Amino acid sequence: MKITDVRTILLTGPYSNDPYICASRPRRSAAFIEIHTDGGLTGWGETYAGYFFPESVPGVVEFFKPILVGQSPDDVEVLWQRMYRCGNYWCRVGLGVAIMNGIEAALWDLRGKMHGVPVHQLLGGCKHARLPCYASGGPSNYPKDQLAAKLDFYLGLGFRGVKIATGSLTKGRGWHMPLDPKEAADFEADKLTFARAHVGKDVRLMLDGHMGNNPDTTWSLGTARAVMKAVEPFNLFFFEEPLHYTDPWGYAELCRETTVPIAGGEVLTAAYEWRVFAEANAFDIGQPDAAYTGGLGEFMRVAAMMEKRGRKVATHAAGAGGALMQNLHCGFACANTVICEILPALGGIHLDIARDFHFENGDVLPPQLPGLGITLTDDIKNRYPFVPGSGEFNSVPGKVLVD
């Protein structure tokens, strides 16, 4: 079987059916790579780069297309290495390898279909009968009655773990993110006192700092230290992104100094970049994304890197339906996966595409269909037409995100 064509599919749709996340981000873009073969099989993969900069994806895919056409989709690692070497100057880390991720995922999808097995079997076999997951809740909606309603909404969907953000989002007043060490520590401790009292001691609670998402509201190491000390009594499952990713040494200091498990890694690409953080012991829990890290193969290498150091991984999965399934296959193939991220109240751009997603009593179950278990019909493509400019970015003077 040979590859005959490689195409990019850009989509735009509602972010999800979660009203609390949609209060800050009502729609999302997504980028898929579609690989055709002369044997009648089609493979699909997603790159999370399509959420941020969808317009960049088609050009990069066209650059790599000649490397793929005429080749066997069974040679996933060979083709990945050829693309990686070809883009040596610009895709060792960053956008290039993140887009390669979507191509490589489509190859794994094809390979699974060719052999009649789910992709996690090709990645080393399923290591878990089921995995716990958490509702990725986005902002902390305020005032507190809104936060309580948000938590109740996620628990009502069957989740037994919830992640909310630092700071707050209040309708009509916007975002609030304290930067002063004492103010930030007091704010997060007060929030967790309320949240823990509301959900009880058995629900997994996580905080996400999102540090680096806005250059004006990024914590210093001193502020992060103060916050960690303040939240230690609340039994957090992890604290995600308390610092900017330009400071792996600060992350390592936090890991040494606090009992709160420090998590991060969703923006890191390729094992090459991950190695800097892993060797610094910068994360207690690494969060590679199988739609962004560089490929499913790179995800597995990152997980092995973390496992060698006694660290765990938690899948990051904030893309559309392809990203959801790619991360589940990798999560089930890694022995050191402790939890999976799931966007609550998944919308059509997720569930119309992910055909093999199974959620039960707060856990996810292993995919069973051959390949990744995703599909992109013409009807789906027509239902979510791409809207130029629908990607998400950080607003700065001269370029402001409007929704």
Domain annotation covers residue 370: no
Q: What is the pLDDT of residues 220-242, one digit of tens each?
A: 999 999 999 999 999 999 999 99
* Same structural domain, 245 and 305: yes
* Same structural domain, 188 and 269: yes
How do beta strands 238-240 and 204-208 pair? parallel
309's CB contacts (< 8 A; 6+ apart) are 278, 281
* Same structural domain, 127 and 96: no
* Same structural domain, 177 and 235: yes
Domain annotation covers residue 126: yes
State the Cα–Cα distance between residues 98 and 135, nearest whole angstrom. Answer: 24
Find the CATH number of the domain harbouring 105.
3.30.390.10
pLDDT of residue 195: 98
pLDDT band at 394 (very low <50, low <70, confident <90, very high): confident
Percentage of the residues of the chain whose pLDDT score is greater than 90: 95
Q: Give the mean pLDDT of 259-288.
A: 97
Domain annotation covers residue 51: yes
pLDDT of residue 403: 78
Say yes or no to pLDDT of 13 above 70.
yes
* Same structural domain, 170 and 229: yes
Question: Is 329 in contact with 354 (CB distance < 8 Å)?
Answer: no
Domain annotation covers residue 336: yes
Query: b/e for 262-288, b at 16 or more Cβ within 10 A?
Result: bbbbbbbbbbebbeebbeebbbbbbbb
pLDDT of residue 397: 87
pLDDT band at 303 (very low <50, low <70, confident <90, very high): very high
Q: Give the mean pLDDT of 246-271.
A: 97
Inter-CA distances, 358 with 112, 322, 328, 354, 373, Å: 19, 14, 10, 10, 11
Say yes or no to pLDDT of 75 above 70.
yes
* Same structural domain, 112 and 129: no
Please compute, for residue 58, the number of CA atoms within 13 A of its CA located in the half-sphere on the CB side: 8
Question: Is 15 in contact with 28 (CB distance < 8 Å)?
Answer: yes
Domain annotation covers residue 389: no
* Same structural domain, 249 and 303: yes
Q: What is the pLDDT of residues 341-375, one digit of tens each?
A: 999 999 999 999 999 999 999 999 999 999 999 99
* Same structural domain, 33 and 112: yes
* Same structural domain, 174 and 247: yes
* Same structural domain, 101 and 131: no
Residue numbers of the domain that contains 202: 121-364
pLDDT band at 144 (very low <50, low <70, confident <90, very high): very high
Find the CATH number of the domain harbouring 161.
3.20.20.120
pLDDT of residue 215: 63
pTM for this predicted structure? 0.97
Domain annotation covers residue 100: yes
Q: Give the mean pLDDT of 104-125.
A: 98
How do beta strands 363-364 and 337-342 pair? unpaired
Q: What is the pLDDT of residues 19-35, one digit of tens each?
A: 999 998 999 999 999 99
Domain annotation covers residue 257: yes
Inter-CA distances, 99 with 33, 41, 92, 288, Å: 9, 22, 12, 15
pLDDT of residue 212: 77
pLDDT of residue 402: 81
* Same structural domain, 74 and 192: no
State the Cα–Cα distance between residues 132 and 160, nearest whole angstrom. Answer: 8
Count the domains in the chain.
Answer: 2
* Same structural domain, 62 and 187: no
pLDDT of residue 328: 98
User: Picking from 22-26, 242-246, 304-308, which range would have the lowest pLDDT averaged per residue?
Assistant: 22-26
Average pLDDT of the chain is 96
pLDDT of residue 396: 85
Strands, DSSP E only, in 322-393?
A: 337-342, 359-360, 363-364
Question: Is 200 in contact with 234 (CB distance < 8 Å)?
Answer: no
The 10 Å Cβ neighbour count of residue 359 is 14
State the Cα–Cα distance between residues 45 and 79, nearest whole angstrom. Answer: 15
| β partners of residue 359 | 364
The gap between the terminal CA atoms of the chain, to the nearest Å, is 44
pLDDT band at 216 (very low <50, low <70, confident <90, very high): confident
Domain annotation covers residue 371: no
pLDDT of residue 292: 98
Q: What is the pLDDT of residues 157-182, one digit of tens each?
A: 999 999 999 999 999 999 999 999 99
Q: Give the mean pLDDT of 75-80.
A: 97
